[in-house]
Structure 1
Amino acid sequence: MKVAIVMGSNSDYPVVQKAENILKEFGVEYETRIISAHRTPRVAEEFAKTAEEKGIEVIIAAAGKAAHLAGVLAATAPLPVIGIPMKSSTMDGLDSLLSVVQMPKGVPVATVAIDGAENAGLLAIQMLSIKYPELRQKVKAYKTKMEEDIIALDAAFNNN
Structure 2
Amino acid sequence: MQEQLKKYLENIAEDYSRWTYHRKDGTFGKTPGVDYTVKDKMFKEFKEGLYIEDSPKRKWIRIVTSDSNGQHRSVHSFIVKNDCTANGKSWRKGDILKPAGWNAPALNKPRGNILDENYKVAWTGACYLIRTGYDNYQTYESA
Shorter-chain TM-score range: 0.3 to 0.5
Structure with the higher fraction of residues in strand conformation: 2
Structure with the higher fraction of residues in helix conformation: 1
TM-score, reference length from structure 1: 0.32
